């Protein structure tokens, strides 16, 4: 694939469809390129004009005497293929198609879009769009603003990709208002050729880009995104807003896992697993972008809050604690330093309330002292105007102090609206300035969360020795029968082939066989109905626990057989006798296929009520040992696993290994469409840990994906 240099740092640009009519896209783009002073040569192309915006105009790109690296195409949709072919002939390397009228309009448009892709592939060109708002790059040696947005970019370190042109411009505008600068912007439109993933790769290598921001409405290739984002987020923060819901109700899932695996859960799992900071709203995204652009990362989560009023400091403290930050404990020395110049009524216990009389000089001295305290990792400075709304002197003081320190400082100023725009213009290296204490607190928490992500071990995707042939045989024989749910015996065998221990089981046909099996296994035992037509055995009285004698087994079997016959009209095919498991914790280990994201692994508190209490964690593949570990730690029931009220802890190493083995199994066999190991019993000893019950459904990956698609 050719690089994106031709698009983002061309030496010459043709605007094909340039226009003289004010307000038309072809005129606005040309105007923006000139106005922003593109560092290269610009060629308007329009057969009906001799010059546009004072520049000589050519009838077609082929008529331009010089080389053309990038073409911005603004002609009507049906003329675009012809124009692209001419570009190919001319040797143009990069294309941005602004024109709409492609995939977004239906089938005819989709065909036309495919034609564009063929043409650019034929000529080795790269294309952004169609149906987009354009791109810009601010490097002083390029200075290309090929958008029709009514604003000029500010040079900076944020690269921003938007899947919606309109939202893109609105976000650009809002970020620009805070005087945060961009390195690149791309509105990717229909993503016919250049995808979000291509941009991520390109921006990864760009030295100026320190922060990547994404407005996403869908994922083209989530598995490639996973790999890329995981790598890039190690050294550059990626902040994303993802809109759009998947109607989870549309699925016909028969497993616990399938019923719980909605589209948004998959998106959440994916983003957090690869270190992407998911913003909850556009506003949240703006707050994070300005923080990451203006602040270093904190070493820890200990925050000092410096204020001239109690109220907003309490709000900040509330929001910090809710986001798992902590309030720094100030050293004795720090407290004494503060006391030496603050009035008696001031509080030198964090939050540090200098009371309403505080002046800019007090802010300067106090912030200096706080940042010097090794127990403080970052500071939030709150300034509320006691009489007058002129906080510039306080903002200047904290800007000066923060310059000298490697710790983040975030400001909360209650000021007139102009302040937030004008102050950063005059002081481009000022701390991020928020209107409300909660915004500063949430942004501070994200800085710390990202710092932790960077320090988190990468982990590895472990591969265990397994009996893949046996698994292949088991799955193939089920697929030969047309797929569907495996028998419990075969499902257990499949787990065993991948090293997942399972309960000892005897399949029996009648009472006498059941009693014989129970005596062989040893009491107490469990009796279960075994019939592929029954989805959740315990719902139909198909499970009897803790049977302690022959007569217990006899009566349980009779009750079960008659009950199921009566309620479901089924003659139960067979029964299963298992040894009653050792005391332990029931967890669920499951998998459901997402049409887009592939296998979603689930771990959580197990039992019959998984869907009710939803104490679960999801992850996508590939799954590392660190991911598995975090899954276990993230559920509420983790407290029980580590030993609740003096009970012995379960074997967590085995728990982690089991998740990884299941990951290996479902990644080797994509014919596994759904799986519930529920309960998987975790006990203190590895030897007692086992899958007690399992449901596995096989199917054709292709058709199943369609079945599950919303």
Shortest CB 639 distance to a second copy, Å: 5
25 φ/ψ angles, rounded to the nearest 5 degrees: -60, -40
To a second copy, the closest distance from the beta carbon of 166 in angstroms equals: 4
> Is residue 18 classed exposed, middle or buried when 0-12, 13-18 and 19+ CB atoms within 10 A define those classes?
buried
Residue 387 to residue 169: CA distance in whole angstroms: 37
CB of 662 to a second copy, least distance (A): 24
What gap in Å lies between CA 239 and CA 213, rounded to an integer? Answer: 5
* Residue 92, burial from CB neighbour count under 10 angstroms (0-12, 13-18, 19+): buried
CB of residue 110 vs a second copy: minimum separation in angstroms? 14
CA gap 549, 539 in Å, rounded: 24
| Structure letter (DSSP) for residue 21 | S
Question: Three-state SS across 427-477?
Answer: CCCCCCEECCHHHHHHHHHHHHHHHHHHHCCCCCCCCCCCCHHHHHHHHHH
Judged by beta carbon, residue 446 or residue 478, the one nearer a second copy is 446
The residue among 243 and 476 lying less far from a second copy, judged by its C-beta, is 243
On whether the CB atoms of residues 285 and 211 are closer than 8 A, the answer is: no
**Min CB(605)–a second copy separation in Å:** 8
- Residue whose CB is less far from a second copy, 120 or 527: 527
Q: Are 239 and 212 in contact (CB under 8 A)?
A: yes
Secondary structure (H, E, C), 93-139: CEEEECCCCCHHHCHHHHHHHHHHHHHHHHHCCEEECCCCCEEEECC
Q: Which residues of 305-320 are buried (b: 16+ CB within 10 A; e: fewer)?
A: bbbbbeebbebbbebb
Query: Per the structure block, which two tokens stand in for 710?
Result: 């919303």
Nearer Cβ to a second copy, position 540 or 600?
Answer: 540
- Say how far apart CA 452 and CA 375 lie, in whole Å: 18
CB nearer a second copy, residue 308 or residue 446:
308
Min dist. Cβ of residue 171 to a second copy (A): 9
Whole-angstrom distance, CA of residue 305 vs CA of residue 22: 51
Is residue 186 within 8 A of residue 128, CB to CB? The reply is: yes
Paired with 52 in beta bridges are 55
Residue 389: CB minimum distance to a second copy, A: 6
Tell me how far, at minimum, the Cβ of 637 lies from a second copy, in Å.
Answer: 6
Q: In whole angstroms, how close is the CB of 173 to a second copy at the nearest point?
A: 7
Between 243 and 685, name the residue whose CB sits nearer to a second copy: 243
CA–CA dist 363, 511 (Å, integer): 83
Using CA atoms in the order 338, 342, 344, 347, what is the torsion angle rounded to 10 degrees? -60
Task: State the nearest-atom distance from the C-beta of 150 to a second copy, in Å.
Answer: 6
Distance of closest approach, residue 613 Cβ to a second copy, in angstroms:
6
Q: Give, rounded to a whole angstrom, the gap between the first and last alpha carbons of the chain.
A: 33
Report the residue number, 283 or 333, with the smaller CB distance to a second copy.
283
When the beta carbons of 494 and 564 are compared against a second copy, the nearer one is 564
- What is the closest distance, in whole angstroms, from the C-beta atom of residue 484 to a second copy in the complex? 21
Q: Which is nearer to a second copy, 213 or 640 (CB)?
A: 640
CB of 391 to a second copy, least distance (A): 11
Q: 137 vs 351, which CB is nearer to a second copy?
A: 351
Nearer to a second copy, 91 or 244 (CB): 244
Q: Which is nearer to a second copy, 462 or 536 (CB)?
A: 536
Q: In 3D, which of 250, 259, 249, 270 has the Cα closest to residue 695?
A: 259
Query: Do residues 538 and 573 lie in contact, with contact meaning Cβ atoms separated by under 8 Å?
Result: no
Rg (CA), the chain: 32
Of 388 and 458, CB closest to a second copy? 388
Do the beta carbons of residue 225 and residue 197 sit within 8 Å? yes
What's the closest the beta carbon of residue 515 comes to a second copy, in angstroms? Answer: 19
User: For 450, left (φ over 0), alpha (ψ -120 to 50), or beta?
Assistant: alpha
Residue (of 623, 689, 630) closest to 463 by Cα position: 623
Nearer residue to a second copy within complex by CB, 483 or 524: 524
């Amino acid at each position: 694939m050719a690089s994106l240099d031709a698009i983002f740092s061309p030496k010459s640009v043709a605007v094909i469809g340039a226009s003289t009519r004010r307000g038309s896209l072809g005129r606005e783009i040309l105007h923006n390129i000139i106005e922003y002073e593109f560092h290269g040569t610009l060629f308007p192309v329009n057969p009906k004009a001799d010059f546009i915006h004072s520049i000589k105009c050519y009838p077609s790109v082929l008529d331009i005497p010089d080389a053309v690296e990038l073409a911005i195409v603004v002609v009507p949709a049906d003329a675009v293929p012809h124009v692209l072919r001419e570009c190919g002939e001319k040797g143009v390397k990069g294309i941005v198609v602004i024109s709409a009228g492609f995939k977004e309009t239906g089938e005819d448009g989709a065909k036309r879009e495919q034609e564009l892709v063929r043409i650019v592939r034929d000529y080795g060109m790269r294309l952004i769009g169609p149906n987009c708002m354009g791109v810009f790059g601010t490097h002083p040696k390029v200075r290309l603003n090929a958008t029709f947005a009514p604003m000029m970019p500010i040079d900076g370190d944020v690269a921003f990709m938007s899947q919606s042109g309109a939202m893109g411009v609105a976000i650009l505008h809002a970020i620009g208002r805070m005087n945060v600068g961009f390195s690149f912007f791309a509105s990717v439109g229909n993503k016919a050729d250049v995808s979000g993933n291509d941009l991520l790769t390109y921006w990864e290598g760009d030295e100026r880009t320190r922060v990547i921001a994404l407005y996403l409405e869908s994922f083209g290739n989530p598995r490639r995104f996973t790999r890329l984002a995981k790598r890039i987020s190690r050294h550059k923060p990626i902040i994303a807003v993802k809109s759009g819901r998947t109607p989870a109700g549309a699925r016909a899932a028969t497993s616990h896992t399938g019923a719980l695996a909605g589209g948004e859960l998959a998106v959440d799992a994916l983003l957090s697993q690869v270190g992407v900071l998911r913003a909850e709203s556009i506003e949240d995204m703006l707050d994070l972008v300005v923080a990451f652009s203006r602040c270093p990362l904190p070493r820890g989560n200990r925050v000092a809050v410096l204020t001239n009023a109690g109220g907003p400091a309490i709000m900040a403290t509330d929001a910090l604690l809710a986001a798992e930050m902590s309030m720094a404990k100030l050293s004795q020395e720090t407290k004494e330093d503060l006391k030496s110049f603050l009035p008696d009524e001031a509080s030198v216990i964090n939050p540090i309330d200098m009371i309403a009389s505080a002046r800019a000089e007090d802010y300067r001295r106090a912030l200096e002292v706080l940042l010097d305290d090794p127990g403080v990792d970052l500071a939030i400075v709150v300034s509320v105007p006691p009489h007058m709304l002129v906080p510039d002197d306080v903002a200047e003081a904290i800007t000066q102090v923060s310059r000298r320190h490697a710790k983040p400082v975030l400001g909360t100023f209650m000021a007139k609206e102009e302040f937030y725009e004008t102050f950063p213009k005059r002081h481009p290296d000022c701390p991020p300035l928020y209107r409300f204490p909660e915004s500063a607190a949430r942004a501070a928490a994200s800085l710390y969360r990202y710092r932790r992500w960077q320090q988190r071990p990468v982990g590895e995707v472990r591969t265990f020795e397994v009996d893949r042939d046996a698994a292949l045989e088991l799955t193939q024989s089920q697929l030969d029968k047309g797929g569907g749910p495996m028998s419990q015996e075969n499902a257990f065998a499949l787990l065993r082939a991948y090293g997942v221990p399972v309960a000892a089981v005897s399949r029996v046909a009648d009472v006498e066989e059941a009693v014989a099996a129970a005596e062989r296994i040893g009491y107490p035992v469990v009796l279960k109905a075994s019939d592929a037509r029954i989805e959740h055995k315990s719902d139909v009285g198909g499970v009897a626990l803790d049977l302690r004698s022959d007569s217990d087994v006899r009566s349980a079997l009779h009750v079960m057989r008659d009950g199921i016959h009566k309620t479901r009209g089924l003659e139960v095919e067979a029964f299963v006798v298992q040894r009653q498991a050792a005391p332990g914790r029931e967890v669920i280990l499951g998998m459901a296929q997402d049409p887009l994201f592939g296998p979603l692994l689930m771990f959580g508190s197990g039992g019959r009520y998984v869907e009710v209490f939803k104490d679960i964690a999801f992850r996508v593949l590939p799954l590392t040992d660190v991911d598995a570990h975090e899954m276990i730690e993230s559920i509420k029931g983790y407290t029980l696993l580590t030993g609740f009220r003096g009970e012995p802890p379960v074997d967590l190493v085995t728990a982690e290994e089991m998740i990884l083995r299941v990951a290996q199994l479902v990644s080797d066999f994509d014919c596994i469409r759904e799986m519930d190991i529920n309960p998987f019993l975790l006990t203190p000893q590895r030897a007692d840990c086992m899958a007690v019950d399992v449901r596995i459904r096989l199917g054709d990956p292709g058709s199943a994906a369609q079945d599950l698609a919303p």
